[in-house]
Amino acid sequence: MPQPNFQIIQARRFGQPVIILVDAGLDVTRDAGRFPYLLTIHAPMRNPNAMGVSSPAESERLDEVEDRLLAGLGDDEYRFAGHVTGNGRREVMIYVADPDRVLERLAGRLAEIGSPDTKVEKVHDPNWEHYLQFRA
């Protein structure tokens, strides 16, 4: 797995503040052909404030959910692009080679963690266009 280079971006989305964590150290030229599918894991916050952002305790809980989900995957199965926190949820973005296999494994991890309201979206993004919008 490549050495991460995390950057934090404060932005607005749908009129609300969001915090974006992106790994700017990913090599799109090397990895896009190998990991052409974007999986976005949508984990709702339990107690977002009026602005839709999380408290430090809620952020820690979301970090733990994220870590536990990704711990069920092998380093050669995905590339962690980052996450967006705001608008009442966390969206974890990973690029994968075999989305159906990873979706099955994530579903198992979600059942173990007890997070039935977390959803996963699959998009074919062979040029990593979604990721590149955060590196502009």
pLDDT digits (tens, 9 = 90+) for 63-108: 998 999 999 899 899 999 999 999 889 999 999 999 999 999 999 9
Separation CA 62–CA 54 (nearest Å):
9
pTM higher than the cut 0.85: yes
Domain spans of the chain?
A: 6-132
Q: Which CATH class is domain 6-132?
A: alpha beta
Average pLDDT of 108-135? 91
Q: What residues are paired with 30 via a beta bridge?
A: none
Q: How confident is the model at residue 1 (pLDDT cuts 50, 70, 90)?
A: low
Q: Would the pLDDT of 2 be above 80? A: no
Greatest alpha-carbon span in the chain = 41
Q: Would the pLDDT of 6 be above 60? A: yes
Helix (H) or strand (E) holding 133: none
DSSP 130: H
